Structure 1
Amino acid sequence: MSDVADRLEAEWSRHRPAVFGAAYRLLGSVAEAEDVVQDVWLRAAAADVSGVEDLRAWLVTIAARRSYDVLKSARVQREDYVGPWLPEPLVTGPDAAQQVLVDESVSTAMLLVMETLSPPERVAFVLHDVFSFSFDEIAEVLDVSVPTARKAASRARSRIARARDSTPDAPRSERERLLLTFRGAYLNGDLAALIELLHPDVRYVTDGGGRVTAAQVPILGGQRVAEVMVRVGQGRWRPDRMVLADIGGEPALVCVQDGQVFSVDTLVIDGGRIREYRRVMNPEKLGHLRAVTFG
């Protein structure tokens, strides 16, 4: 094995979290991000990296270009998606099977905002604000002028700022407390307790992707959502366990039935009550969790 190959193999494990992190932030999919990581590794293994001064930046650049291509083709797939789309859950706590770079930009809330951006805006924002790339480097990835790259990042930053301003936030401790309280009420089928926990204007969003039974539009209103949750939680989808886990850098509930994960739940809190409850049920988005042991 040559010295160049030795260097690449020695440094790959150190840089892989950044490669995966860039792809996941751009695509919102663990499976697609893993495909990008494999593509980057194959490209790097076949290349002469002896003259590459910053190997991490070089690898992330390749990941960004490949993700950009996927993003442009994924627009049609997103339009054909059955029901609400939610990001594929990324385990980031002690249960995580792999090391990843974690910050606010991998949270469910952020990835939902990212989904509203155009592909160039997403790439420009992630490379500049998360990975500190220059606009010269970003322009090269997008094959546009530097002013165009700068404008794309600016538009993305403005939209994300507006979303942050309009989205309630809560400390991690409050999120965990509310999730645990919700878990007790949900498993017990306690309608009154659930109504008390839910904001009157709560939205219940379920992503089944057409693969399992799930509401194809958000369910609205505290009373109605509580009634649906009691019916679902005491019926076919009653979990054996609901495990508190770290998903996308935030507390979440992982629902397990017969030893298999069948949903991952995150929430938005407003004034000490649940303003939005999000449930990923699409089995295609949960397959990678089979290798993870929760609780």
Structure 2
Amino acid sequence: MNEHSEATTGPVGPPPGGDRMDSATEAFVAHRNLLFTVAYEMLGSAADAEDILQETWLRWVKVDLGQVHDQRAYLVRITTRQSLNRLRTMKRRKETYVGPWLPEPLLTAPDVAEDAELAESVSMALMLVLESLSPTERAVFVLREVFDVSYEEIAAAVDKSPAAVRQIAHRARRHVDARRPREAVSPSQARAALETFQRALETRDLQALLDVLAPEVVLMSDGGGIKQAAPRPITGADKVARFIVGGIGKFVVGGTGKAQAALTGDPTMVNGNLALLLRVDGELDGVLAIRVEDARISGLYYVRNPQKLTRVASETPLTLR
């Protein structure tokens, strides 16, 4: 199953019959957006998250609902276990991935951006930090810090004791806190930084780029071996600015075979945060997400892999509840 399947709008599989199956369907539909958000935050891939929902549904319809005291918690537990299994498979996949791997960007509604906790939890910057955790650490961190699941429930989901889960949560929190943005910026500061960057990008204004980029800015680009991208992260304002002015022009505009291809950026909301949809002569080329600290851009995440651009045409609903 993939991101284009019918599971994007409801349960999958043959239509259930009987009161018990109707109750199972109702519960699954009621919590579907939550389960997708849990799976996506654990995996960083919408396509894989949809697969997890398929697997969750197939297991859920076999459960004796009369023995389930908290349907939400039970569904989250199934989703977590399936996501952990998938995480271990994805680790092997990422080892052979061509170039840097970035999370699959999701076009999100304004209400996601208005929920500061949700917006941070699905931001490209934090999702990349979560990539550095072990599968179990990531599951524990996401469930505890993002979804406020009890240690006892997490223990049941990851097959650990509550005491072990507390230790894992502490270790994961310390790791993430050392790498997450130092302070939140206001929406107006983020918009101003993005607007300045957009103008500088479209006009290839090197000095304007240097002015809006933080000295320690990092740019990562993901082509997945399908489209050209920088093979390694680029660090430092001068190197990043010169890559944007020269490098992006070479492998984006130059790749069209047109001398005067126009590179433009359309502001949008991706993963609850401001981003640009980059277009070449009006055709979507990639998604450029940003991280802003102290009113300057400290992170640029450029996804060109076309297999990861299927979720930027329509909004994906996300929720913490």
* TM-score, length basis structure 2: 0.81
1:137 aligns with 2:160: no
Quick one: which amino acid aligns to residue 93 of structure 2?
A: Q
Give me the CA root mean square deviation.
Answer: 2.5
Quick one: which amino acid aligns to residue 234 of structure 2?
A: I
Secondary structure, aligned partner of 1:228? helix
Secondary structure, aligned partner of 1:211? coil
Structure-1 residue corresponding to 2:267: 244
Structure-1 residue corresponding to 2:301: 278
Q: Which runs of 5+ in 1 are unaligned?
A: none
| 8 Å CA contact 2:77, 2:156 repeated in 1 | no
Secondary structure, aligned partner of 1:210? coil
Structure-1 residue corresponding to 2:130: 114
Structure-2 residue corresponding to 1:54: 70
Structure-2 residue corresponding to 1:226: 241
Find the aligned partners of 2:306 and 2:111 in 1 and give their Cα distance. Answer: 19
Deviation at 1:173, TM superposition (A): 1.5
- CA distance change for structure 1 residues 233 and 163 in 2, over 3 Å: closer, same or farther? closer
Structure-2 residue corresponding to 1:197: 212
Count the aligned residue pairs.
288
Find the aligned partners of 1:240 and 1:44 in 2 and give their Cα distance. Answer: 47
- After superposition, where does 1:145-164 map in structure 2 within 5 Å? 145-164=161-180
1:28 aligns with 2:44: yes
Structure-1 residue corresponding to 2:287: 264
| 8 Å CA contact 2:105, 2:270 repeated in 1 | yes
Structure 1, residues 197-241: CA drift from partner, whole Å, max 9, x if none?
Answer: 223333221111222101111223323322221234545525654
| 8 Å CA contact 2:106, 2:315 repeated in 1 | no
Find the aligned partners of 2:147 and 2:239 in 1 and give their Cα distance. Answer: 43
Structure 1, residues 113-142: CA drift from partner, whole Å, max 9, x if none?
Answer: 111111111111222222332222222222
Find the aligned partners of 1:237 and 1:226 in 2 and give their Cα distance. Answer: 15
| 8 Å CA contact 1:204, 1:278 repeated in 2 | yes
Of 113-122 and 233-242, more deviation after overlay is shown by 233-242
| 8 Å CA contact 1:168, 1:269 repeated in 2 | no
- CA distance change for structure 1 residues 259 and 40 in 2, over 3 Å: closer, same or farther? farther
- After superposition, where does 1:82-97 map in structure 2 within 5 Å? 82-94=98-110
Identity among equivalent positions (%) equals: 39
Find the aligned partners of 1:130 and 1:196 in 2 and give their Cα distance. Answer: 34
